[in-house]
Amino acid sequence: MSLKPDEIAALVDTLYARAGAGEWEAVAEMMTDDFVASEAAGLPMAGDFRGKNGLKNLFLLVMGMVDVSALEREALTVGDDCAIVKLTMRFADPALKPAELCEWFRFRNGKCSEIKPYYFDPAPFLAACEAKKKER
């Protein structure tokens, strides 16, 4: 069943809201059994995060690496059972440059089946990782 553009937009917004609130059981119900989130090689969280808890595992890993103060959605483009979200990730230390990224979502049967983040420039994220390591 194909989703309408407004349904996809609502799913994306709900996913961000529930993940941000730590509502992991609700997030898992929004994922397909074979869900995968894939982070690119060269990033400290590189790899595939699979299954209904894949997004939770990735989110907790990333949030343990950096101190995020805000994740701002700047734009949302919707296609056939997919969406691309333009985000700015702001860090708790205002001296750190924000990271800019896009996340590509794929949907199947009303659930999220895949997320692929693309960092415009990974340097700000890597700098935030190094800053957090120095705090420890």
Domain CATH code at residue 126: 3.10.450.50
For the chain, which ranges sit under pLDDT 50? none
Q: What pLDDT, on a 0 to 100 scale, did the predictor assign at position 1?
A: 62
Q: What pLDDT, on a 0 to 100 scale, did the predictor assign at position 83?
A: 98
pTM equals 0.94
Interval 66-86: pLDDT, tens: 999 999 999 999 999 999 999
Interval 13-24: pLDDT, tens: 999 999 999 999
- CA–CA distance, 41 with 29 (Å, rounded to integer): 28
Q: What residues have CB less than 8 Å from 133, skipping those under 6 apart?
A: none
Q: What residues have CB less than 8 Å from 125, skipping those under 6 apart?
A: 43, 66, 89, 99, 119
Range of the domain at 21: 5-135
Number of structural domains found in the chain: 1
- CA–CA distance, 82 with 89 (Å, rounded to integer): 22
